[in-house]
Homo-oligomer: A and B are copies of this chain.
Amino acid sequence: MSQLTYGIAVFPSKKIQDIANSYRMRYDPQYSKIPPHITLKESFTADQQTIDKLTEDLSKIAKETEPFDIEIKKVSSFSPITHTVYLKVEPNDTLSKLNEQMNAEGFPGEQAFSFVPHITISQDLSEDEHSDVYGTLKISSFDLKDTIDRFQLLYQLDDGSWTVYETYKLGE
């Protein structure tokens, strides 16, 4: 059975996406592949049968989760592990719980790193470029708030871009 690559993400409000894109268009070669997002579950491969079961599980998770608020105050970096600069989403119990539920026993895929909620704004730059970008951005402070009321299951096309397969509304 043919397998596709899937991922689960939250798209924040248009305002936050527009701010993230103002950096991404300059500093992120993956900019055009997917809108700005908070990854809830890292990419994994699955066949249609696995996805049919997963969509049921995700509906249940969404139904049991109420919409929640997030806050962004600053930029951070995964350096030296990767040269990824991101809008740091302040620690959030609901995001962590969603991530945990989506990586529980029986779910497809594996999580390589511990969960750090973030919106990538720069990646795949050289060490020097990363230092420049992060040096400039880490002194910025933000006061962004958003209410998250849905998450999305996406699959990847051959060119690396992502298409939304399904939307899950929280509390419904």
Binding site for B on A (CB under 8 A): 4, 11, 14, 17-18, 21, 25, 32-33, 35, 150, 152, 155, 157-159, 161-167, 169
Contact = CB atoms under 8 A, between A and B. Distances in A.
A85 B157 CA distance: 21
Given A17-B157, A21-B158, A166-B167, 16 more contacts: A14-B157, A14-B158, A17-B163, A18-B158, A18-B159, A21-B159, A32-B32, A32-B161, A35-B157, A35-B161, A150-B166, A152-B164, A152-B167, A165-B167, A166-B169, A167-B167
Dominant secondary structure at the A interface: mixed
Contacts of A32: 32-33, 161
